[in-house]
Structure 1
Amino acid sequence: MSCCITFSKRCICFIDQINEWIGKSVAWLTLGMVLVTFVIVVLRYAFDLGWVSLQESVAYMHALVFMLGAAYTLKHDRHVRVDIFYQRCGAKTRAWIDCLGSLLLLLPVSVFIIWSSWEYVADSWRILEGSRNSGGLPGLFLLKSCIIVMAVLLILQGLAQFVRNLLIALGQNSREAQ
């Protein structure tokens, strides 16, 4: 049993590290969005210039921040939660609630996202889809692939959260599990 717990904690740590790295990396895109938006505004109003690709790059960055940052948000418990009863519960009860939430909500929804978007993404890859706008960015198929990447990262983080909370609910050392 101790060997399984040690292996579980290593897996949790590995998944947490992946999502931590991805989350911190894509966070820099928010700075990029601000800077590119500033450039777009200056070019448009000061020089009467504009490029579709520049405008689309802001939308691409915005999509990447939300899709690739979702698991990071879950890891840091910053997702939307109704805390009416949850905040009053003890640590073990909260851990059981989180386990059930992962099993009954997060994991099925993430699997559904993969299942329902698979054809959409595959069709985009088949034609190597780019922007529909003249002068737009190529590689829309890569951006659409992030839908599946997001769901996979959420599944991994959901499993890590589930195991972490299960260890807490079963009375294992919660400090090591986190």
Structure 2
Amino acid sequence: MKTINPLATLVKVLDTFSEWTGRTIAWLTLLMVLVTFIVVVMRYVFNIGNIPLQESIIYMHSFVFLLAAGYTLKHDGHVRVDIFYRPMTERGKAIINILGTLLLLLPVSIFILLISWDYVAFSWATLEGSQEAGGIEALFILKTSLIVMPILMILQGIAELLRSILVLTGQGHLLESDPQEHPL
């Protein structure tokens, strides 16, 4: 009989959310390449400019960079100095991850969330649009990613913190995937 641990369940739920978010937002990279190709062909073959298409590339790039940050954290893709971390035991890595999450990741994410709040709120209050004539009139949506990104990082940071706690308490095995489970 399988033991149900609420911490392990929460880690799996948060991981699944980050995985879904990252895989969904990844499709924007394909769209971004296609739109860039269209913009280049329009400009250099037909001598036609299109400001909304050009701005959409900036929007998509921003969304990919900001909204996939939690997914990248889940897959341990952020920059770190592995010279000391890599050879550590699982318990040592868990301690470093707990310290990094509590002292760096969560405080910085909370700071970004708080410092961006008024900036984004003002943008929504004025329904801020493009500074370019004929540009995308939804700059407020782009700026909203400045709030969504730290929220996604906090959620995945909680998952990483709980995962490390489970490792330290000898319950890391509860996070191993069940072959019958298919979250995506």
Looking at structure 1, the residues matched to 11 and 170 of structure 2 have their Cα atoms a distance apart, in angstroms, of: 17
Uncovered stretches (5+) of structure 2, i.e. residues with no partner: 177-184
Uncovered stretches (5+) of structure 1, i.e. residues with no partner: none
Which residues of 2 match residues 40-119 of structure 1 at below 5 A? 40-119=39-118
Aligned-partner SS, 1:103: helix
Report the AA paired with residue 23 of structure 2: K
Question: Between the two proteins, what is the percent identity of the paired residues?
Answer: 52
Aligned-partner SS, 2:147: helix
Report the AA paired with residue 15 of structure 2: D
Per-residue CA deviation, residues 108-135 of structure 1 (Å, 9 max, x unaligned), is 0000001111110011011001111001
Q: Which residue of 2 aligns with 1:19?
A: 18
Looking at structure 2, the residues matched to 7 and 160 of structure 1 have their Cα atoms a distance apart, in angstroms, of: 12
TM-score, with structure 2 as normaliser: 0.92
Per-residue CA deviation, residues 32-56 of structure 1 (Å, 9 max, x unaligned), is 1110000001000110001110000
Aligned-partner SS, 2:53: helix
Deviation at 1:177, TM superposition (A): 2.3
Looking at structure 2, the residues matched to 7 and 158 of structure 1 have their Cα atoms a distance apart, in angstroms, of: 17
Pair 1:146 & 2:145 matched: yes
Looking at structure 2, the residues matched to 85 and 9 of structure 1 have their Cα atoms a distance apart, in angstroms, of: 27
Per-residue CA deviation, residues 123-161 of structure 1 (Å, 9 max, x unaligned), is 101100111100100211111111111100100100010
> Any conservation in 1 of the 2:117–2:147 contact (CA below 8 Å)?
yes
Deviation at 1:25, TM superposition (A): 0.6
Q: Which residue of 1 aligns with 2:173?
A: 175
Looking at structure 2, the residues matched to 149 and 117 of structure 1 have their Cα atoms a distance apart, in angstroms, of: 10
Which residues of 2 match residues 120-135 of structure 1 at below 5 A? 120-135=119-134
Cα RMSD for the two superposed structures: 1.2
Aligned-partner SS, 2:76: coil
TM-score, with structure 1 as normaliser: 0.95
Report the AA paired with residue 105 of structure 2: L
Looking at structure 2, the residues matched to 127 and 175 of structure 1 have their Cα atoms a distance apart, in angstroms, of: 50
Report the AA paired with residue 43 of structure 2: R
Report the AA paired with residue 176 of structure 1: L
> Any conservation in 1 of the 2:130–2:137 contact (CA below 8 Å)?
yes
Looking at structure 1, the residues matched to 5 and 169 of structure 2 have their Cα atoms a distance apart, in angstroms, of: 15
Looking at structure 2, the residues matched to 112 and 79 of structure 1 have their Cα atoms a distance apart, in angstroms, of: 19
Looking at structure 1, the residues matched to 132 and 90 of structure 2 have their Cα atoms a distance apart, in angstroms, of: 52
